[in-house]
Amino acid sequence: MIGYNGSVHGYFKGKCGLRQDDPLSPYLFVIAMNLLSIMLNNAAADLKIKYHSKCASSKLTHLCFADDLLIFIDGSLSSVQNVLQVMREFELRSGLAVSVQKSSFFAFGLSQQELDTIKASTGMPQPSLPVRYLGVPLNTKKLTIHNCEVWIQQFRNEVLDGCLSNYWTVKINPKYSWLTNKLIKMRDVVYIWIKLRVENGRSCRFWTDNWSPYGSLDNYLMRVTNSGFAIPKTATLYDLLVDGQWVLPPARSNEFLQVQIYLTTLSLTEEEDTYEWAISDLPSTRYSTGEVYDQLRHEGEVVSWSKVVWISGGIPKHSFLTWLFILNHCPTRDRMLRCGIQTDSSCLLCNAHQESRDNLFFLCPYAWDLWLSMQNLGGNKLRKRLTFIAWQATIYWLWQERNNRLHRQQFCSNDALFRLLDRQIRDRILFFRQQSPINSSSVMQMWL
């Protein structure tokens, strides 16, 4: 049955159970995994499962991602057996059983006898690291092209039918993933960056590959005439060279004549054709995500206040809110009224003036008292960094207090709010200790 608008409608008999892509499946799965999470945490609280040495302080027993589960324990046989007992109880309650054949365990610091005992009691194998996930090895370092080779081959074989040149002609398919279709849609943008250096011409498509200074000949030649050129769409340069002569139809346009003249400058070799990555016509042997991002994004004007927002050592969420604050994009009540949203215009912190950015963060007496708590900041480089961190933290906590009053009806005194701010700044200063203990101590003395 389905509850709709307060009434129950219909009756649907479940014959086949849940299937993949069933809209209820994700929600039921989350509920089931939450049950397992509670069972594992309770077992650890009852000392049936001992924490991993690196997880004891955070009381972490497991991580769950989709249908993959990682359980962390101390490695003792009793903990292993109790984990299996929890999984058996979970199976009885939910019907979800552990697949031993698809499970494995990793251990460090145990003797061979202890490892053999765990293998015998669980039936799980002990593979070697790095373990593969979705075909790619899990690594603590940045993935290399070699690590992603399995994905590259899969894309080439299943989407491009084994030929890279098909990238320029393959069509969007609803069976493909969102990312695959997005890559197909982006080909007009990246076309000028992927150049083909002609060698033997066997893989160089005459019409679609970027092998000439005229770009895609399919666009360059077909824009002047709709008639064909008696050259197949799949023809390669190797196909058009017969006995050392280019076999082409007579030129019927200046554009086609230019292409024929350029072809006379090419000499095919025995080497394989190669692709070049070239941004701004500068060939490169490496791919840079930053360079591609700069090419794709809209380049805006340089602003004078960027260095006080995106500061070294700043708290990211504070910097983001400060960015919105400077642009006056925070959803204050005056902005909401201008957008046609009916709401009370009074400031939530002082209830005396209309709420706007300037009033909320500066003119409001509540905000002003908080700013007075940090009036002694200023000075050298370290003090300047502390000033920016404290400035952003003040903006953040004032906005938090405003939202708590609006949405939760929770009120905090100025002193209590400053204690929250103070605790967060102290924690941030302590975070610098690993990088520079001396500077961290100096900044802490300034703050105290």
pLDDT of residue 8 exceeding 80: no
Average pLDDT, the chain: 86
Amino acid (one-letter) located at 284: S
Banded pLDDT at 443 (limits 50, 70, 90): confident
Span 313-339, average pLDDT = 91
Q: What is the pLDDT of residues 345-378, one digit of tens each?
A: 898 888 888 899 998 888 888 888 888 876 655 5
pLDDT of residue 184 exceeding 90: yes
Q: Which of 232, 248, 235, 191 is nearest to 215 (CA)?
A: 191
Residue 327 is predicted with a pLDDT of: 92
> What share of the chain has pLDDT > 90, as a percent?
38
Helices and strands in the chain, H and E counts:
18, 11
> What share of the chain has pLDDT > 70, as a percent?
92
pLDDT of residue 23 exceeding 80: no
Banded pLDDT at 417 (limits 50, 70, 90): very high
As a dihedral over the C-alpha atoms of residue 111, residue 117, residue 120, residue 124, rounded to 10 degrees, the angle is -50
pLDDT of residue 51 exceeding 70: yes
Least confident of 70-84, 118-132, 218-232, 276-290: 218-232
Cα(30)–Cα(24) distance, integer angstroms: 10
Span 430-443, average pLDDT = 84
List, as one string, the DSSP characters of 178-222: HHHHHHHHTHHHHGGGEEEE-SS-SS-BTTTS--STT--HHHHHH
Q: What is the pLDDT of residues 286-325, one digit of tens each?
A: 888 888 888 888 777 888 888 889 988 889 999 999 999 9
Residue 10 is predicted with a pLDDT of: 62
Q: Tell me: cis bond preceding 130? Omega within 30 of 0 counts.
A: yes
Banded pLDDT at 236 (limits 50, 70, 90): very high
Cα(150)–Cα(156) distance, integer angstroms: 10
Residue 317 is predicted with a pLDDT of: 93
pLDDT of residue 226 exceeding 60: no
Residue 224 is predicted with a pLDDT of: 61
Banded pLDDT at 1 (limits 50, 70, 90): low
pLDDT of residue 404 exceeding 80: yes
134 SS3 class: coil
Residue 95 is predicted with a pLDDT of: 85
